Chain A
């Protein structure tokens, strides 16, 4: 069997709570240098039963062992479509830990936080240049938080026009966060189907009326296809008084190539943890800045970082603002990693990154499309979506995904977008070499052959992992969501 997967020594490790021995601890505390004092007894809690008691060595081994059961971008190829799992530069981790940044309290007087504010202002400027938008907020903590922020601004803009409207159009290829965010603004969601995988201006026009507040698009969309009629679509929506929101999840295809604001889009969120190389953290923290046109600028959440001559400050005096989306100013630690990435790449480097991301995806497509079914034929950008239609012998997308694990790869995104039955969504990113991609394609082709000749291998996969094919049905029927002893 080809591939880089092999079976190593996998260590078992109990839960923290099962390690405890009364009296152990992994923390040292300086002697109390003030008089003892305790709160009124009726307010004080009893000892917490079952709370862990471990030595420092126990804790270090525990989490080190756990880490070995994980697969990250640093372990190998991670072609999870729509998630842009590019390499996370290490210098950014060092930078985020500089004491003047990591230990800066958010309530520090602004005159003593000029470096942080300058960095935020610089990031706003860079994102504005990359996207073409007039103004930005860095406050949202993740992509879907950015969507909510953007949709609240759209609603606030309509309210200011005197008509809130009631509906939002969302393509059937959209991420689930899009309809969920629209619903949190009190909007009814109207699905809109594509033609050949993309939206047509004619279809948008047919659904567009004076009750539609906005169209939410993703461009390139989740099939990896550019919405070629985007200018016409924006014009149609604007003509009926609506606005266009763009899910910026796939911006990695467009840096230095085309700018969403130039297409007619009014609002877009960025995913700094996708396009701008900040680590995904096992599920966050992310950061989801939102860019807007000048017309929407008054509605940005507050505070906004502004510059007056040589002084940076947080502007709170914004009467039309939608308000505050969270505490403080956003995920500063993530912003600074993204800022570092942009400074290290420069404008030309960012454009090159998008070009190579698109090259890599098209190369995978070229190598696999003779074997795997490609339901939408349009020109792929940064990702490509196959289906499991050509897999033989009752082998499905899930089996392929699990078999890829045996070969040493993280599987692609599976069963999304919903418009493709058995979808296999592959996004290689620009940080993978031709050798890595070739080896992955070889594995995909080998698995397709296995499905033909020995389907049991797919149905049994994975066989080299610590656990295999977990019982998700049982987990959902009788949820056990914490350790209970």
Chain B
């Protein structure tokens, strides 16, 4: 299972890429594997506000459904609309093609709670 070093992670199995003005969010390889074949992704609209730890979207396989939680608070500035037609890329390319939303963070202090790759890997090995 692959966990890129340059990313940060959450306990709810989201990955987070922190850049200058935005935070990109998706779900990890571990999460997609646990769900199985993804059949549907529901994302918020651009302009909606998301809140740390609260669900902002849903990812579904045939027999499971999982909320996606916001790793930081802020405004949704971009969504990956291609996932609506091609949810399968969540399985094939969780870190690249299947990025889900970009957030303009409102509270950079929240970044301190994100997990490093080593912390996240340890978490997945516990499960």
Contact = CB atoms under 8 A, between A and B. Distances in A.
Interface of A: 415, 472-473, 476-477
Interface in B28-44: 37, 39-40
Q: Lowest 8 A-B CB distances belong to which pairs?
A: A476-B39, A473-B37, A477-B39, A472-B62, A476-B62, A473-B62, A473-B39, A477-B87
A472 B61 CA distance: 10
Given A476-B60, A477-B88, 8 more contacts: A472-B62, A473-B37, A473-B61, A473-B62, A476-B40, A476-B62, A477-B40, A477-B87
Interface size class of B (residues with CB under 8 A): under 10
A220 B61 CA distance: 32
Interface string B46-83: 00000000000000111100000000000000000000
A473 B39 CA distance: 7
A234 to B, nearest CB: 34
Contacts of B37: 473
B83 to A, nearest CB: 11
Contacts of A415: 63
Nearest to A477: B39
A415 B60 CA distance: 18
14 contacts: A415-B63, A472-B62, A473-B37, A473-B39, A473-B61, A473-B62, A476-B39, A476-B40, A476-B60, A476-B62, A477-B39, A477-B40, A477-B87, A477-B88
Contacts of A472: 62
Interface of B: 37, 39-40, 60-63, 87-88
B127 to A, nearest CB: 13
A105 B63 CA distance: 42
A477 B61 CA distance: 9
A255 B6 CA distance: 63
Contacts of B61: 473
B67 to A, nearest CB: 15
User: In the complex, which of the residues B62, B63, B87 has the most CB atoms of chain A within 10 Å of its own CB atom?
Assistant: B62
Nearest to B37: A473
B39 to A, nearest CB: 4
Contacts of A477: 39-40, 87-88
A477 B36 CA distance: 13
A191 to B, nearest CB: 16
A261 B61 CA distance: 41
A473 B36 CA distance: 10
Contacts of B40: 476-477
Contacts of B88: 477
A209 to B, nearest CB: 24
Nearest to A473: B37
A476 B61 CA distance: 8
Contacts of A476: 39-40, 60, 62
Contacts of B87: 477
A476 B88 CA distance: 11
Contacts of B60: 476
A415 B63 CA distance: 11
A96 B21 CA distance: 70
A195 B6 CA distance: 43
B93 to A, nearest CB: 16
Contacts of B62: 472-473, 476
Nearest to A476: B39
B42 to A, nearest CB: 13
Contacts of A473: 37, 39, 61-62
A441 to B, nearest CB: 28
A397 to B, nearest CB: 13
A332 to B, nearest CB: 36
Nearest to A415: B63
Nearest to B86: A477
A476 B64 CA distance: 12
A411 to B, nearest CB: 16
Nearest to B87: A477
A48 B87 CA distance: 35
B57 to A, nearest CB: 17
B64 to A, nearest CB: 11
B31 to A, nearest CB: 17
